[in-house]
Structure 1
Amino acid sequence: MLSREQIIETAIELLDAGGEGALTTRSLTERLSTGSGAIYYRVGSRDELLDAATETVVTAALAAKPARATTTATPEDEIRTVALALFDAIAEHRWLATRLILQLVRKPFGPVTVGIFERIGRQVGALGVPRASWFDAASTLVHYILGAVSQHARIDGDTSTVEPDRAEFLDATAAAWQDLDPEDHPFMHAIVGQINEHDDREQFLTGIAVVLDGLTRLG
Protein backbone atom coordinates (compact mmCIF):
# COMPACT_ATOMS: atom_id res chain seq x y z
CA MET A 1 0.00 0.00 0.00
CA LEU A 2 1.35 3.42 -0.98
CA SER A 3 2.34 5.45 2.07
CA ARG A 4 2.82 9.16 2.68
CA GLU A 5 6.51 8.51 3.37
CA GLN A 6 6.95 6.77 -0.02
CA ILE A 7 5.37 9.72 -1.81
CA ILE A 8 7.62 12.23 -0.04
CA GLU A 9 10.73 10.13 -0.61
CA THR A 10 9.96 9.87 -4.33
CA ALA A 11 9.26 13.61 -4.50
CA ILE A 12 12.68 14.30 -2.97
CA GLU A 13 14.32 12.04 -5.57
CA LEU A 14 12.64 13.96 -8.38
CA LEU A 15 13.59 17.31 -6.85
CA ASP A 16 17.20 16.20 -6.45
CA ALA A 17 17.34 15.06 -10.05
CA GLY A 18 15.84 18.12 -11.71
CA GLY A 19 14.76 20.79 -9.24
CA GLU A 20 11.21 21.96 -8.67
CA GLY A 21 10.42 21.82 -12.38
CA ALA A 22 10.90 18.05 -12.30
CA LEU A 23 8.25 17.57 -9.63
CA THR A 24 4.98 17.30 -11.53
CA THR A 25 1.87 15.27 -10.91
CA ARG A 26 2.60 13.27 -14.04
CA SER A 27 6.21 12.47 -13.11
CA LEU A 28 5.20 11.50 -9.60
CA THR A 29 2.28 9.29 -10.60
CA GLU A 30 4.39 7.56 -13.26
CA ARG A 31 7.22 6.90 -10.82
CA LEU A 32 4.82 5.55 -8.18
CA SER A 33 2.45 3.78 -10.60
CA THR A 34 -0.56 5.37 -8.99
CA GLY A 35 -3.18 8.02 -9.65
CA SER A 36 -3.14 11.68 -8.69
CA GLY A 37 -6.03 11.13 -6.30
CA ALA A 38 -3.95 8.82 -4.10
CA ILE A 39 -1.19 11.41 -3.85
CA TYR A 40 -3.57 14.25 -3.05
CA TYR A 41 -5.35 12.12 -0.46
CA ARG A 42 -2.15 11.25 1.43
CA VAL A 43 -0.13 14.45 1.04
CA GLY A 44 -2.24 17.20 -0.46
CA SER A 45 -1.42 19.75 -3.13
CA ARG A 46 1.96 20.19 -4.85
CA ASP A 47 2.80 23.07 -2.49
CA GLU A 48 1.97 20.86 0.48
CA LEU A 49 4.18 18.13 -0.97
CA LEU A 50 7.07 20.62 -1.36
CA ASP A 51 6.57 21.68 2.25
CA ALA A 52 6.57 18.05 3.36
CA ALA A 53 9.75 17.30 1.39
CA THR A 54 11.43 20.35 2.92
CA GLU A 55 10.36 19.37 6.42
CA THR A 56 11.63 15.81 5.94
CA VAL A 57 15.11 16.91 4.86
CA VAL A 58 15.40 19.67 7.48
CA THR A 59 14.20 17.41 10.31
CA ALA A 60 16.93 14.92 9.44
CA ALA A 61 19.54 17.72 9.44
CA LEU A 62 18.37 19.08 12.77
CA ALA A 63 18.81 15.63 14.33
CA ALA A 64 22.60 15.86 13.84
CA LYS A 65 24.65 15.62 17.03
CA PRO A 66 28.08 17.06 17.84
CA ALA A 67 31.07 14.75 17.46
CA ARG A 68 31.95 15.07 21.12
CA ALA A 69 29.70 13.62 23.81
CA THR A 70 26.51 15.54 24.53
CA THR A 71 27.59 16.10 28.13
CA THR A 72 30.77 17.90 27.02
CA ALA A 73 29.49 19.61 23.86
CA THR A 74 29.51 23.40 24.14
CA PRO A 75 26.81 25.74 22.78
CA GLU A 76 29.28 26.63 20.03
CA ASP A 77 29.62 22.92 19.17
CA GLU A 78 25.85 22.55 18.93
CA ILE A 79 25.45 25.61 16.71
CA ARG A 80 28.29 24.59 14.39
CA THR A 81 26.82 21.09 14.15
CA VAL A 82 23.35 22.19 13.09
CA ALA A 83 24.76 24.90 10.81
CA LEU A 84 26.97 22.39 8.99
CA ALA A 85 24.12 19.88 8.82
CA LEU A 86 21.98 22.46 7.04
CA PHE A 87 24.94 23.46 4.83
CA ASP A 88 25.48 19.84 3.80
CA ALA A 89 21.76 19.22 3.29
CA ILE A 90 21.55 22.10 0.84
CA ALA A 91 24.72 20.99 -0.92
CA GLU A 92 23.04 17.60 -1.43
CA HIS A 93 19.55 18.94 -2.20
CA ARG A 94 20.12 22.00 -4.38
CA TRP A 95 16.42 22.91 -4.42
CA LEU A 96 16.27 23.17 -0.64
CA ALA A 97 17.68 26.67 -0.07
CA THR A 98 14.87 28.40 -1.93
CA ARG A 99 12.25 26.38 -0.06
CA LEU A 100 13.89 27.20 3.27
CA ILE A 101 13.79 30.93 2.55
CA LEU A 102 10.13 30.65 1.55
CA GLN A 103 9.36 28.78 4.77
CA LEU A 104 11.10 31.45 6.84
CA VAL A 105 9.24 34.30 5.11
CA ARG A 106 5.81 32.74 4.56
CA LYS A 107 5.50 30.27 7.43
CA PRO A 108 7.38 31.49 10.50
CA PHE A 109 4.86 29.42 12.49
CA GLY A 110 5.54 26.23 10.51
CA PRO A 111 7.55 23.22 11.70
CA VAL A 112 10.59 24.02 9.54
CA THR A 113 11.11 27.57 10.83
CA VAL A 114 10.17 26.64 14.38
CA GLY A 115 12.51 23.62 14.33
CA ILE A 116 15.50 25.66 13.17
CA PHE A 117 14.87 28.50 15.61
CA GLU A 118 14.34 26.11 18.51
CA ARG A 119 17.57 24.20 17.87
CA ILE A 120 19.61 27.39 17.43
CA GLY A 121 17.77 29.43 20.05
CA ARG A 122 18.40 27.05 22.92
CA GLN A 123 22.12 27.49 22.41
CA VAL A 124 21.83 31.29 22.26
CA GLY A 125 20.64 31.26 25.86
CA ALA A 126 23.42 28.86 26.82
CA LEU A 127 25.97 31.29 25.33
CA GLY A 128 24.97 33.82 27.97
CA VAL A 129 23.13 36.17 25.65
CA PRO A 130 20.67 38.30 27.68
CA ARG A 131 17.10 37.05 27.35
CA ALA A 132 15.96 40.40 25.94
CA SER A 133 18.32 39.82 22.99
CA TRP A 134 17.46 36.16 22.28
CA PHE A 135 15.22 36.87 19.30
CA ASP A 136 17.70 39.22 17.64
CA ALA A 137 20.62 36.87 18.33
CA ALA A 138 18.85 33.75 17.04
CA SER A 139 17.56 35.64 14.00
CA THR A 140 21.08 36.85 13.19
CA LEU A 141 22.41 33.29 13.29
CA VAL A 142 19.55 31.81 11.28
CA HIS A 143 19.72 34.56 8.67
CA TYR A 144 23.48 34.12 8.30
CA ILE A 145 23.19 30.34 7.99
CA LEU A 146 20.40 30.43 5.41
CA GLY A 147 21.91 33.36 3.55
CA ALA A 148 25.32 31.72 3.31
CA VAL A 149 23.99 28.36 2.17
CA SER A 150 21.50 29.86 -0.31
CA GLN A 151 24.35 30.26 -2.80
CA HIS A 152 23.87 26.53 -3.41
CA ALA A 153 20.26 26.99 -4.49
CA ARG A 154 18.83 26.24 -7.89
CA ILE A 155 17.67 29.64 -9.13
CA ASP A 156 14.13 29.80 -10.48
CA GLY A 157 14.26 30.67 -14.15
CA ASP A 158 17.83 29.43 -14.63
CA THR A 159 17.61 27.30 -17.76
CA SER A 160 21.15 25.96 -17.59
CA THR A 161 21.28 22.21 -17.21
CA VAL A 162 25.00 21.71 -16.59
CA GLU A 163 26.52 22.41 -13.20
CA PRO A 164 29.78 24.37 -13.66
CA ASP A 165 33.00 22.63 -12.69
CA ARG A 166 34.09 24.29 -9.45
CA ALA A 167 37.77 24.58 -10.37
CA GLU A 168 36.98 25.99 -13.82
CA PHE A 169 34.48 28.43 -12.34
CA LEU A 170 36.98 29.67 -9.74
CA ASP A 171 39.73 29.95 -12.37
CA ALA A 172 37.48 32.02 -14.60
CA THR A 173 36.45 34.23 -11.68
CA ALA A 174 40.06 34.75 -10.63
CA ALA A 175 41.01 35.67 -14.19
CA ALA A 176 38.16 38.17 -14.39
CA TRP A 177 39.19 39.77 -11.09
CA GLN A 178 42.80 39.88 -12.26
CA ASP A 179 41.72 41.86 -15.33
CA LEU A 180 40.13 44.58 -13.19
CA ASP A 181 41.96 47.89 -12.96
CA PRO A 182 44.16 47.56 -9.84
CA GLU A 183 43.83 51.25 -9.04
CA ASP A 184 40.04 51.07 -9.00
CA HIS A 185 39.87 47.62 -7.36
CA PRO A 186 42.86 47.21 -5.00
CA PHE A 187 40.99 44.87 -2.68
CA MET A 188 39.93 42.51 -5.45
CA HIS A 189 43.53 42.28 -6.62
CA ALA A 190 44.69 41.63 -3.05
CA ILE A 191 42.44 38.59 -2.65
CA VAL A 192 42.53 37.17 -6.17
CA GLY A 193 45.16 34.61 -5.18
CA GLN A 194 42.99 33.31 -2.35
CA ILE A 195 39.86 32.38 -4.30
CA ASN A 196 41.19 29.04 -5.58
CA GLU A 197 42.48 28.09 -2.13
CA HIS A 198 39.34 28.61 -0.11
CA ASP A 199 37.17 25.78 1.22
CA ASP A 200 33.42 26.50 1.21
CA ARG A 201 32.71 24.68 4.47
CA GLU A 202 35.65 26.28 6.27
CA GLN A 203 34.62 29.69 4.99
CA PHE A 204 31.10 29.02 6.25
CA LEU A 205 32.43 28.04 9.69
CA THR A 206 34.53 31.20 9.82
CA GLY A 207 31.36 33.21 9.40
CA ILE A 208 29.69 31.24 12.20
CA ALA A 209 32.69 31.96 14.45
CA VAL A 210 32.49 35.69 13.71
CA VAL A 211 28.77 35.80 14.50
CA LEU A 212 29.19 33.77 17.70
CA ASP A 213 32.03 36.03 18.86
CA GLY A 214 29.76 39.04 18.42
CA LEU A 215 26.86 37.37 20.25
CA THR A 216 28.98 36.49 23.29
CA ARG A 217 29.77 40.20 23.66
CA LEU A 218 26.08 40.91 24.23
CA GLY A 219 26.25 39.25 27.64
Structure 2
Amino acid sequence: MLSREQIVDTAVEMLDAGGEGALTVRALTERLSTGSGAIYYHVGTRDDLLDTATETVIGAALAARPAGEAATPGDEIRVAALALFDAIAAHRWLATRLTLQIVRNPVGPVTVGIFERIGGQLGALGVPRASWFDAASTLVHYILGAVSQNARIEGDTSGIDPEGDREELFDAASAAWRGLDPEAYPFVHAVAGQMREHDDREQFLTGIAVILEGLTRLR
Protein backbone atom coordinates (compact mmCIF):
# COMPACT_ATOMS: atom_id res chain seq x y z
CA MET A 1 0.00 0.00 0.00
CA LEU A 2 1.30 3.44 -0.93
CA SER A 3 2.33 5.51 2.09
CA ARG A 4 3.01 9.17 2.72
CA GLU A 5 6.65 8.34 3.44
CA GLN A 6 7.04 6.60 0.07
CA ILE A 7 5.60 9.60 -1.73
CA VAL A 8 7.89 12.06 0.06
CA ASP A 9 10.99 9.88 -0.39
CA THR A 10 10.28 9.54 -4.11
CA ALA A 11 9.68 13.27 -4.43
CA VAL A 12 13.05 13.97 -2.81
CA GLU A 13 14.74 11.56 -5.25
CA MET A 14 13.13 13.34 -8.19
CA LEU A 15 14.11 16.75 -6.85
CA ASP A 16 17.69 15.58 -6.35
CA ALA A 17 17.83 14.24 -9.89
CA GLY A 18 16.24 17.14 -11.75
CA GLY A 19 15.41 20.05 -9.46
CA GLU A 20 11.97 21.54 -8.89
CA GLY A 21 11.13 21.41 -12.58
CA ALA A 22 11.31 17.62 -12.52
CA LEU A 23 8.73 17.28 -9.77
CA THR A 24 5.17 17.36 -11.09
CA VAL A 25 2.17 15.45 -9.82
CA ARG A 26 1.94 13.67 -13.17
CA ALA A 27 5.59 12.61 -13.13
CA LEU A 28 5.27 11.48 -9.54
CA THR A 29 2.16 9.39 -10.21
CA GLU A 30 3.91 7.73 -13.16
CA ARG A 31 6.96 6.98 -11.03
CA LEU A 32 4.81 5.47 -8.27
CA SER A 33 2.29 3.79 -10.63
CA THR A 34 -0.61 5.41 -8.84
CA GLY A 35 -3.25 8.07 -9.43
CA SER A 36 -3.12 11.75 -8.56
CA GLY A 37 -5.84 11.22 -5.97
CA ALA A 38 -3.44 9.21 -3.82
CA ILE A 39 -0.90 12.04 -3.91
CA TYR A 40 -3.45 14.66 -2.92
CA TYR A 41 -4.85 12.40 -0.19
CA HIS A 42 -1.53 11.69 1.48
CA VAL A 43 0.34 14.97 0.91
CA GLY A 44 -1.80 17.62 -0.78
CA THR A 45 -0.84 19.89 -3.64
CA ARG A 46 2.56 20.10 -5.33
CA ASP A 47 3.44 23.10 -3.12
CA ASP A 48 2.46 21.06 -0.06
CA LEU A 49 4.69 18.27 -1.31
CA LEU A 50 7.64 20.64 -1.77
CA ASP A 51 7.13 21.96 1.76
CA THR A 52 6.92 18.45 3.15
CA ALA A 53 10.06 17.36 1.31
CA THR A 54 11.86 20.39 2.73
CA GLU A 55 10.61 19.64 6.25
CA THR A 56 11.73 16.01 5.95
CA VAL A 57 15.27 16.78 4.84
CA ILE A 58 15.75 19.65 7.28
CA GLY A 59 14.27 17.63 10.13
CA ALA A 60 16.80 14.86 9.53
CA ALA A 61 19.65 17.40 9.47
CA LEU A 62 18.54 19.03 12.72
CA ALA A 63 18.48 15.63 14.42
CA ALA A 64 22.29 15.39 14.13
CA ARG A 65 24.07 15.44 17.48
CA PRO A 66 27.74 15.64 18.47
CA ALA A 67 29.52 12.39 19.23
CA GLY A 68 30.37 11.70 22.85
CA GLU A 69 28.88 12.90 26.12
CA ALA A 70 31.04 15.98 26.68
CA ALA A 71 29.55 18.13 23.90
CA THR A 72 29.49 21.86 24.58
CA PRO A 73 26.75 24.27 23.43
CA GLY A 74 29.18 25.45 20.77
CA ASP A 75 29.58 21.85 19.58
CA GLU A 76 25.81 21.51 19.32
CA ILE A 77 25.57 24.63 17.17
CA ARG A 78 28.49 23.62 14.94
CA VAL A 79 27.07 20.13 14.35
CA ALA A 80 23.61 21.49 13.51
CA ALA A 81 25.01 24.18 11.24
CA LEU A 82 27.27 21.74 9.40
CA ALA A 83 24.39 19.27 9.02
CA LEU A 84 22.36 22.00 7.32
CA PHE A 85 25.34 22.87 5.13
CA ASP A 86 25.79 19.23 4.10
CA ALA A 87 22.06 18.73 3.52
CA ILE A 88 21.97 21.57 1.02
CA ALA A 89 25.15 20.33 -0.63
CA ALA A 90 23.46 16.94 -1.07
CA HIS A 91 20.07 18.36 -2.13
CA ARG A 92 20.81 21.30 -4.41
CA TRP A 93 17.14 22.30 -4.72
CA LEU A 94 16.89 22.80 -0.97
CA ALA A 95 18.41 26.27 -0.62
CA THR A 96 15.57 28.04 -2.39
CA ARG A 97 12.86 26.06 -0.58
CA LEU A 98 14.53 26.62 2.78
CA THR A 99 14.71 30.37 2.23
CA LEU A 100 11.04 30.45 1.20
CA GLN A 101 10.08 28.55 4.35
CA ILE A 102 11.98 30.96 6.60
CA VAL A 103 10.52 34.04 4.92
CA ARG A 104 6.94 32.90 4.28
CA ASN A 105 6.23 30.60 7.19
CA PRO A 106 7.81 31.84 10.43
CA VAL A 107 5.60 29.48 12.48
CA GLY A 108 6.25 26.42 10.33
CA PRO A 109 8.26 23.41 11.51
CA VAL A 110 11.31 24.33 9.42
CA THR A 111 11.69 27.86 10.79
CA VAL A 112 10.78 26.95 14.34
CA GLY A 113 12.98 23.85 14.25
CA ILE A 114 16.07 25.73 13.07
CA PHE A 115 15.65 28.57 15.56
CA GLU A 116 15.03 26.15 18.44
CA ARG A 117 18.01 23.95 17.56
CA ILE A 118 20.38 26.91 17.21
CA GLY A 119 18.89 29.32 19.73
CA GLY A 120 18.37 26.68 22.38
CA GLN A 121 22.12 26.64 23.02
CA LEU A 122 22.58 30.37 23.55
CA GLY A 123 21.68 30.49 27.23
CA ALA A 124 24.29 27.84 28.02
CA LEU A 125 26.83 29.88 26.04
CA GLY A 126 26.21 32.76 28.44
CA VAL A 127 24.43 35.01 25.94
CA PRO A 128 22.08 37.39 27.81
CA ARG A 129 18.41 36.53 27.34
CA ALA A 130 17.71 40.00 25.92
CA SER A 131 20.12 39.20 23.07
CA TRP A 132 18.88 35.68 22.27
CA PHE A 133 16.76 36.58 19.25
CA ASP A 134 19.41 38.82 17.69
CA ALA A 135 22.11 36.22 18.33
CA ALA A 136 20.06 33.34 16.91
CA SER A 137 19.06 35.44 13.90
CA THR A 138 22.71 36.28 13.23
CA LEU A 139 23.64 32.60 13.22
CA VAL A 140 20.64 31.55 11.12
CA HIS A 141 21.21 34.33 8.58
CA TYR A 142 24.87 33.39 8.28
CA ILE A 143 24.03 29.70 7.81
CA LEU A 144 21.38 30.41 5.17
CA GLY A 145 23.60 32.85 3.31
CA ALA A 146 26.60 30.54 3.31
CA VAL A 147 24.74 27.41 2.26
CA SER A 148 22.78 29.24 -0.41
CA GLN A 149 25.99 30.61 -1.92
CA ASN A 150 27.24 27.06 -2.35
CA ALA A 151 23.98 25.75 -3.80
CA ARG A 152 22.53 25.89 -7.30
CA ILE A 153 21.08 29.31 -8.09
CA GLU A 154 17.38 29.30 -8.99
CA GLY A 155 15.94 31.88 -11.36
CA ASP A 156 18.14 33.89 -13.72
CA THR A 157 21.28 31.82 -14.27
CA SER A 158 22.46 33.52 -17.45
CA GLY A 159 26.21 33.23 -17.68
CA ILE A 160 26.35 30.59 -14.93
CA ASP A 161 27.01 26.92 -15.54
CA PRO A 162 25.51 25.04 -12.54
CA GLU A 163 27.44 21.93 -13.56
CA GLY A 164 30.71 23.77 -14.02
CA ASP A 165 33.87 22.44 -12.44
CA ARG A 166 34.47 24.13 -9.08
CA GLU A 167 38.26 23.83 -9.27
CA GLU A 168 38.40 25.37 -12.73
CA LEU A 169 36.13 28.20 -11.60
CA PHE A 170 38.32 29.14 -8.65
CA ASP A 171 41.53 28.70 -10.64
CA ALA A 172 40.24 31.19 -13.19
CA ALA A 173 38.98 33.61 -10.53
CA SER A 174 42.23 33.37 -8.59
CA ALA A 175 44.27 34.06 -11.71
CA ALA A 176 42.08 37.07 -12.50
CA TRP A 177 42.52 38.44 -8.96
CA ARG A 178 46.29 38.00 -9.14
CA GLY A 179 46.23 39.94 -12.40
CA LEU A 180 44.74 43.01 -10.72
CA ASP A 181 46.88 45.99 -9.79
CA PRO A 182 48.27 45.12 -6.31
CA GLU A 183 48.44 48.81 -5.39
CA ALA A 184 44.78 49.40 -6.19
CA TYR A 185 43.58 46.05 -4.76
CA PRO A 186 46.15 45.01 -2.14
CA PHE A 187 43.81 42.78 -0.12
CA VAL A 188 42.25 41.00 -3.11
CA HIS A 189 45.71 40.46 -4.58
CA ALA A 190 47.01 39.05 -1.28
CA VAL A 191 44.24 36.46 -0.82
CA ALA A 192 43.97 35.30 -4.45
CA GLY A 193 45.85 32.08 -3.71
CA GLN A 194 43.76 31.39 -0.61
CA MET A 195 40.56 31.64 -2.64
CA ARG A 196 41.82 28.97 -5.05
CA GLU A 197 42.83 26.59 -2.27
CA HIS A 198 40.05 27.09 0.28
CA ASP A 199 37.66 24.37 1.47
CA ASP A 200 34.00 25.44 1.59
CA ARG A 201 33.13 23.39 4.69
CA GLU A 202 36.17 24.59 6.62
CA GLN A 203 35.46 28.18 5.63
CA PHE A 204 31.85 27.74 6.77
CA LEU A 205 32.97 26.41 10.16
CA THR A 206 35.41 29.30 10.51
CA GLY A 207 32.49 31.70 10.11
CA ILE A 208 30.52 29.85 12.80
CA ALA A 209 33.54 30.01 15.12
CA VAL A 210 33.91 33.76 14.58
CA ILE A 211 30.23 34.35 15.38
CA LEU A 212 30.30 32.12 18.47
CA GLU A 213 33.39 33.91 19.76
CA GLY A 214 31.60 37.22 19.32
CA LEU A 215 28.47 35.96 21.07
CA THR A 216 30.41 34.90 24.15
CA ARG A 217 31.51 38.52 24.53
CA LEU A 218 27.90 39.65 24.95
CA ARG A 219 27.90 38.38 28.55
Q: TM-score range by the shorter chain?
A: over 0.9
TM-score by length of 1: 0.95
Cα displacement string for residues 130-182 of structure 1 (whole angstroms, at most 9, x for unaligned residues): 11111111111111111111113322233777511121111111122122232
Tell me, yes or no, if the aligned pair for 2:152 and 2:162 is still in contact at 8 Å: no
Partner of residue 191, structure 1 = 191
Partner residue of 2:92? 94
Corresponding residue for residue 210 of structure 1? 210
- Partner residue in 2 for 1:113: 111
- Please give the alpha-carbon distance, in whole angstroms, between the structure 2 residues aligned to 1:111 and 1:139: 16
Q: Which runs of 5+ in 2 are unaligned?
A: none
Counterpart of 1:29 in structure 2 is 29
Deviation, 1:184, is 2.3
- For residues 54-93 of structure 1, the aligned pairs below 5 Å read 54-69=54-69, 72-93=70-91
- What RMSD, in angstroms, separates the aligned Cα atoms of the two structures? 1.3
Q: TM-score, normalised by structure 2?
A: 0.95
AA paired with 1:153? A
**Contact 2:64–2:83, Cα closer than 8 Å, also in 1:** yes
Aligned to 1:168: 168
Other-structure match for 2:142? 144
Separation in structure 1 between the aligned mates of residue 46 and residue 127 of structure 2, nearest angstrom: 40
How far apart are the structure 1 equivalents of 2:128 and 2:173? 43
Aligned positions, number: 217
Q: Percent identity?
A: 76
Query: How far apart are the structure 2 equivalents of 1:153 and 1:53?
Result: 17
Runs of 4+ more than 3 Å apart: 158-162
